[in-house]
A and B are shown apart, each in its own frame.
Chain A
Amino acid sequence: MTLAFLDSIPWEMIFWAAGKAIFVIFLVVLPLVSYTVYAERRVSAAIQDRVGPNRTGFPTSLLGFKKDLQLFLGGLGQPIADAMKFILKEDFTPGGVKHFYFWLAPCLAMLPLVSLAFIPFGSSLFGEKMVIADVNVGVLGIFAVTGCSVYAIVLAGWASNSKYPFLGGIRSSSQMISYELSMGLSIIPILMLFGSMNLSDLVQYQADNGWLLLPLWGNGWSWERWAMLVPLGISFIIFMISVFAETNRLPFDMPESETELVAGYHTEYSSMKFALFFLGEYAAMIVGSALMVVFFFGGWHLPLIPDGNGNGGLSFLSAIPSWVWGIVNITAFFGKVALILVFFIWVRWTLPRFRFDQLMKLGWLYLFEIALANIFLTAAVLALTNSK
């Protein structure tokens, strides 16, 4: 038997794709998830005039050092300790659950991570584009994958065989389906302006012509683009509110509202299965923030900084090897994501929870209509200014 088919496999492509996937998921996003949880606790504490977790260091005493390593803030080892706690806890399955779906739901909860594949997290490094799947239907792909994440909650609610998770699952299914509509519609003005669904091209366009919400360079400095800010601003606000609802964050955390539903859909889960829901929620937050960055805040682009091929930016900066700028771009992207995550947290500790009928009213009677009207507004602005 010959191994000729080995030659037909694009090894280099597989190597890059796997490398990028491992980098994004395991080296960036999962640590980002756990440190978002930590940031959530510290920021919420500061907002509520408390101190928050500032004790746990990195467990260097296990390696034979005298004390645990405390870095500048203190408590930075907390996510590690939390993870250990979740792994070591008893995984209790209550009686009467539907076992297959009960196990399937937490696996599906990590689905938002898949949609990271479509997000361009950097310009390019050593000539390789920093996006795992550079496809022309990136926007659709993301919506397809995030649309599936409702199944985790619905299945968890139904399979738990308990009334609080059931109510949480029902609430979440209606909420997520309602807000997906306005979320999708709010993106359409961008697609109309840009005319393609390829996310890395969208970011490149913003790098050349100004971020969608900050058109200050390239041909962005024109009154046509500034007129576009009106519909784009509206679609940004709608998109942001929908992301809050899609990720079940306060003020829309109806599916797990503690005061009414104990813990909602994950009431009956314990140990690592619960942790997966928990991580999934924060991963969804990260995906949402990444989308906001890609659509509205120029993705990996920073003003005056060249991209990974040394193009653009201040001319004297091009003397420095371009891979440095590739790394700067990646850092800039995740820095922007982190800023938006802090905003998520800030909003969470500011606003009280909506009532469920208010949530539905807001989604169906206001956001949906405004997003729909916004499309026509965009079309009108585009037609009047010929800015396409």
Chain B
Amino acid sequence: MAYVVQRPELTFKEKAYLPSILNGLKITFGHFKKMIKGETKVTMQYPEEKWDSQLPEHYRGAPTLVRDEHNRERCVACQLCEFICPPRAITIKPMEIPADDKFAKVEKRPAEFDIDMIRCIYCGMCEEVCPEQAIYLRKDYAINGLTRAEMVHNKAKLYELGGVFAGLVHKWNPEK
């Protein structure tokens, strides 16, 4: 149904326009003054202030490999993460652990473990699928490099980022 919108009756002050301009100027000056006095809350000044301390518990950063408390590589090169990885960022080359090694009974470990951080989408599927809990998404988010090759995290880099992760793997943990 059509209906008529009543035009508001303007007073002379409103018609003269200049008083309302002055009002507007007052409002913007208020914002300006608050900003100058530092009362306005502004965005984080990124490289100086970082939000590392405020990252939530479940934050998914760069995937990393971890060792256990005996300094054993947890990864057994089963390649499940390589197969699940949606953007195919992970490339694993498995190798047999030599018989004279301390952990020879584990049988397999990765000879090379590359994660292409250009491809990685931080989905966390590798972490979810890993039966040995060897791969974890840590909170590193500022990953950069000048070449494509630099952006590929190799095994050494992944262990460096991951560090040690103590405790039983879920599948052996009676509580799980």
**Residue pair B21, A50 in contact (C-beta under 8 Å):** no
**Residue pair A350, B25 in contact (C-beta under 8 Å):** yes
Interface set, chain B 13-48, CB cutoff 8 A to A: 18, 21, 24-25, 27-29, 31-32, 34-36, 40, 42-43, 45
Interface set, chain B 85-105, CB cutoff 8 A to A: none
**Residue pair A351, B21 in contact (C-beta under 8 Å):** yes
Q: How far is the CB of B22 from chain A (nearest CB, A)?
A: 10
User: Given A51-B42, A51-B43: A46 and B25 within 8 A (CB)?
Assistant: no
> Is A43 close to B, CB under 8 A?
yes
**Residue pair A48, B31 in contact (C-beta under 8 Å):** yes
CB neighbours (8 Å) of A347 from chain B are: 21, 25
> Is A7 close to B, CB under 8 A?
no
> Is A103 close to B, CB under 8 A?
no
Q: How far is the CB of B132 from chain A (nearest CB, A)?
A: 45
> Is A357 close to B, CB under 8 A?
no
CB neighbours (8 Å) of B18 from chain A are: 237
- In Å, the complex CA distance between A49 and B34 comes to 8
Q: How far is the CB of B45 from chain A (nearest CB, A)?
A: 8
- In Å, the complex CA distance between A49 and B29 comes to 11
User: Given A49-B40, A51-B43: A350 and B35 within 8 A (CB)?
Assistant: no
> Is A47 close to B, CB under 8 A?
yes
Contact residues of B: prevailing secondary structure? helix
User: Given A51-B42, A51-B43: A46 and B32 within 8 A (CB)?
Assistant: yes
- In Å, the complex CA distance between A47 and B33 comes to 8
CB neighbours (8 Å) of B29 from chain A are: 346
The size class of the interface chain B forms with chain A is: 10 to 19
> Is A278 close to B, CB under 8 A?
no
Q: Which residue of A lies closest to B25 (CB)?
A: A350
- In Å, the complex CA distance between A284 and B40 comes to 33
Pick the residue among B31, B42, B45 that contacts A47 (CB under 8 A).
Answer: B31
- In Å, the complex CA distance between A45 and B34 comes to 12
CB neighbours (8 Å) of B42 from chain A are: 49-51
CB neighbours (8 Å) of A351 from chain B are: 21, 24
Q: Which residue of A lies closest to B33 (CB)?
A: A46
CB neighbours (8 Å) of A237 from chain B are: 18
CB neighbours (8 Å) of B21 from chain A are: 347, 350-351
User: Given A49-B40, A50-B42: A350 and B32 within 8 A (CB)?
Assistant: no
**Residue pair B43, A47 in contact (C-beta under 8 Å):** no
Q: Which residue of A lies closest to B34 (CB)?
A: A49
Interface set, chain B 137-160, CB cutoff 8 A to A: none
**Residue pair A47, B32 in contact (C-beta under 8 Å):** yes
Interface string of A44-66 (1 = CB under 8 A from B): 01111111000000000000000
- In Å, the complex CA distance between A85 and B176 comes to 60
- In Å, the complex CA distance between A351 and B45 comes to 29
- In Å, the complex CA distance between A14 and B132 comes to 87
CB neighbours (8 Å) of B32 from chain A are: 43, 46-47, 346
> Is A349 close to B, CB under 8 A?
yes
CB neighbours (8 Å) of B25 from chain A are: 346-347, 350
**Residue pair B24, A46 in contact (C-beta under 8 Å):** no
CB neighbours (8 Å) of A46 from chain B are: 31-32, 35-36
Q: How far is the CB of B58 from chain A (nearest CB, A)?
A: 30
- In Å, the complex CA distance between A184 and B28 comes to 31
CB neighbours (8 Å) of B35 from chain A are: 45-47, 49
Q: How far is the CB of A151 from chain B (nearest CB, A)?
A: 31
- In Å, the complex CA distance between A50 and B34 comes to 11
- In Å, the complex CA distance between A349 and B32 comes to 11
User: Given A350-B21, A351-B21: A47 and B28 within 8 A (CB)?
Assistant: yes
**Residue pair B40, A350 in contact (C-beta under 8 Å):** no
Q: How far is the CB of B175 from chain A (nearest CB, A)?
A: 49
Interface string of B100-143 (1 = CB under 8 A from A): 00000000000000000000000000000000000000000000
Q: Which residue of A lies closest to B27 (CB)?
A: A350
- In Å, the complex CA distance between A346 and B27 comes to 11
- In Å, the complex CA distance between A50 and B25 comes to 18
**Residue pair A349, B40 in contact (C-beta under 8 Å):** no
CB neighbours (8 Å) of A350 from chain B are: 21, 24-25, 27-28
Given contacts A46-B36, A49-B42, A237-B18, 19 further A-B contacts (CB under 8 A): A45-B35, A46-B31, A47-B31, A47-B32, A47-B35, A49-B31, A49-B34, A49-B35, A51-B42, A51-B43, A346-B32, A347-B21, A347-B25, A349-B28, A350-B21, A350-B24, A350-B25, A350-B28, A351-B21
| Those 7 A-B pairs whose CB atoms lie nearest each other, nearest first | A46-B35, A350-B28, A350-B24, A47-B28, A46-B32, A49-B40, A47-B32
* 19 cross-chain CB contacts under 8 A: A46-B32, A46-B35, A46-B36, A47-B32, A49-B31, A49-B35, A49-B40, A49-B42, A50-B42, A50-B43, A51-B43, A346-B25, A346-B32, A347-B25, A350-B21, A350-B24, A350-B27, A350-B28, A351-B21
